[in-house]
């Protein structure tokens, strides 16, 4: 044998096994597999966008529309976004995508305080049995009493409801009153029907004309001061009411409204049905954005006014034209409590858009030295385009 020739090396058992195993052919991607992969990618990106929008809705309470207007729109969409996040979480659990399901679940847990502000959960409500130390307050946007004509002795559904409410204090917004000789609601007609309330005071929402902010009370009204909110239609007023020996400072507010006409409402629904997002967005922007910004300025003015009050008994009632998930509500309720959130239950929608979409835009806020009980919106009342909000209060 030639010395330069190397003897053959025996193959190891492992190398022999590897040589004997046939190579698996590359698995071809089927059309169904490609569709499935595309679907999961699409849903994942959609879920990420949904969570970002949901986070924006949760933060909308703290962001002024004068800074970022988008936050105000996201706040309006909170209920819809919450439902979508729940459905998305259920989907992830079904397909066993545990990490994504966990992220959605955490977001839902984070949103619970906001949800309970929007729709508190309680098993029951207990109105006070002993009414001696409790004040029943009713707040209502009267919708100009529907401009219904009245005869000399006619009763109006709104005032008849209020007369039977057994309330101690009644706050009315958008209360248009005509002259005593008119066939429409006048001061004389209002006081005649609500004669159980010996104390009456009103202030014009805008200077010396237009709708009024009215308070009828079984307790003496010491003073009335209008608040100029620099609006063409909306305004506020402060009423000081003597309850026993305590001074209750009552704010009756009608904040900037969107000013929808019936024709505009029909137009918006038509755009939505036609799936015309550009036209729908532009149409809403004309009404929504200016109103959001004006309310943000109005609540700053009212917030400062409340801070100057010396009395510890402060109650804010009225039509805020904004939901509990809004900068308007958050700013006004700083240092105060929401009556529905602390003592109510459920959504308590006080206004319905085209009788389909419900929102709670009428509110009652109260200070620490006031105790509240059993706040609710009377959904059965068909006396205005708004529903009355009712609560019992006790001054500590």
Each residue's pLDDT tens digit, 147-204: 888 766 677 899 999 999 999 999 999 999 887 777 888 888 888 889 999 999 999 9
Cβ neighbourhood burial of 394 (10 Å; 0-12, 13-18, 19+): middle
Share of the chain above pLDDT 70, in %: 85
The residue that leads in pLDDT, 286 or 101, is 101
The pLDDT score that the predictor gives to residue 28 is: 61
CA atoms within 13 A on the CB side of 113: 4
The residue that leads in pLDDT, 266 or 169, is 169
For the stretch 71-88, pLDDT in tens is 999 999 999 999 999 999
Most confident of 21-35, 93-107, 115-129, 246-260: 93-107
Mean pLDDT of 284-307: 88
Q: Where are the domains of the chain?
A: 31-118, 135-395
- The rounded distance, in Å, linking the Cα atoms of 156 and 146 is 10
Mean pLDDT of 271-280: 48
| pLDDT tier for residue 267 given thresholds of 50, 70 and 90 | very low
On whether the CB atoms of residues 396 and 365 are closer than 8 A, the answer is no
Mean pLDDT of 64-69: 94
The pLDDT score that the predictor gives to residue 273 is: 47
Asked if residue 392 has pLDDT above 60, the reply is yes
The pLDDT score that the predictor gives to residue 60 is: 95
| pLDDT tier for residue 58 given thresholds of 50, 70 and 90 | very high
The residue that leads in pLDDT, 283 or 87, is 87
The pLDDT score that the predictor gives to residue 227 is: 95
Mean pLDDT of 81-99: 95
The pLDDT score that the predictor gives to residue 153 is: 66
The pLDDT score that the predictor gives to residue 182 is: 75
Mean pLDDT of 122-128: 86
The pLDDT score that the predictor gives to residue 24 is: 57
Nearest Cα neighbor of 141 from 391, 342, 352, 387 is 387
Nearest Cα neighbor of 62 from 74, 70, 71, 54 is 71
Mean pLDDT of 112-118: 95
Nearest Cα neighbor of 258 from 320, 170, 305, 337 is 320
The residue that leads in pLDDT, 169 or 2, is 169
What average pLDDT does the structure give for the chain? Answer: 87
The pLDDT score that the predictor gives to residue 29 is: 67
| pLDDT tier for residue 280 given thresholds of 50, 70 and 90 | very low
For the stretch 36-51, pLDDT in tens is 778 888 899 999 999 9
The pLDDT score that the predictor gives to residue 34 is: 80
The pLDDT score that the predictor gives to residue 1 is: 45
For the stretch 357-390, pLDDT in tens is 899 999 999 999 999 999 999 999 999 999 999 9
The residue that leads in pLDDT, 45 or 29, is 45
The pLDDT score that the predictor gives to residue 180 is: 73
The pLDDT score that the predictor gives to residue 70 is: 93
* Homologous superfamily (CATH) for 135-395: Endonuclease/exonuclease/phosphatase (3.60.10.10)
H/E run at residue 273: helix 262-273
The pLDDT score that the predictor gives to residue 5 is: 52
- The rounded distance, in Å, linking the Cα atoms of 277 and 358 is 22
Give Cβ neighbours of residue 265 (< 8 Å, ≥ 6 apart).
353, 354
On whether the CB atoms of residues 109 and 331 are closer than 8 A, the answer is no
């Amino acid at each position: 044998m030639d010395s330069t020739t190397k003897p053959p090396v025996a193959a190891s058992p492992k190398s022999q096994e590897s040589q004997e195993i046939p190579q698996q052919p590359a698995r071809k991607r089927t059309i169904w597999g490609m569709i499935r992969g595309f679907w999961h990618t699409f849903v994942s990106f959609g879920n990420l966008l949904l969570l970002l929008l949901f986070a924006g809705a949760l933060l909308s309470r703290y962001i002024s529309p004068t800074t970022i207007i988008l936050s105000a729109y996201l706040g309006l969409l909170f209920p819809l976004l919450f439902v979508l996040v729940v459905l998305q979480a259920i989907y992830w659990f079904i397909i066993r995508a545990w990490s994504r399901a966990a992220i959605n679940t955490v977001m839902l847990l984070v949103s619970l305080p906001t949800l309970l502000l929007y729709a508190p959960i309680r098993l029951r409500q207990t109105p006070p049995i002993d009414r001696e130390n409790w004040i029943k307050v009713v707040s209502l946007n009267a919708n100009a009493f529907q401009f219904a004509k009245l005869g000399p002795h006619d009763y109006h559904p709104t005032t008849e409801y209020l007369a039977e409410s057994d309330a101690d204090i009644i706050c009315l917004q958008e209360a248009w009153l005509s002259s005593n000789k008119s066939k429409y609601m006048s001061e004389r007609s209002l006081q005649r029907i609500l004669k159980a309330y010996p104390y009456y005071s009103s202030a014009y929402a805008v200077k010396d004309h237009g709708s009024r902010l009215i308070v009828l009370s079984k307790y003496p009204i010491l003073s009335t001061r209008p608040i100029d909110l620099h609006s063409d239609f909306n305004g506020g007023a402060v009423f000081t009411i003597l309850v026993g020996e305590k001074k209750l400072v009552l704010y009756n507010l009608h904040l900037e409204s969107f000013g929808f006409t019936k024709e505009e409402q029909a137009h918006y629904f038509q755009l939505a049905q036609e799936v015309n997002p550009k036209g729908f967005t532009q149409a809403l922007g004309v009404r929504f954005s200016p109103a959001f910004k004006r309310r943000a300025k109005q609540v700053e003015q009212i917030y400062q006014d409340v801070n100057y009050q010396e009395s510890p008994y402060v109650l804010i009632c009225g039509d805020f034209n904004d939901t509990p998930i809004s900068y308007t509500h958050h700013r006004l309720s700083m240092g105060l409590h929401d009556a529905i959130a602390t003592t109510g239950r459920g959504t308590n929608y006080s206004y319905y858009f085209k009788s389909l979409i419900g929102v709670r835009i009428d509110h009652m806020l109260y200070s620490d030295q006031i105790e509240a009980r059993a706040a609710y919106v009377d959904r059965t009342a068909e006396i205005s385009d708004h529903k009355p909000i009712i609560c019992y209060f006790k001054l500590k």
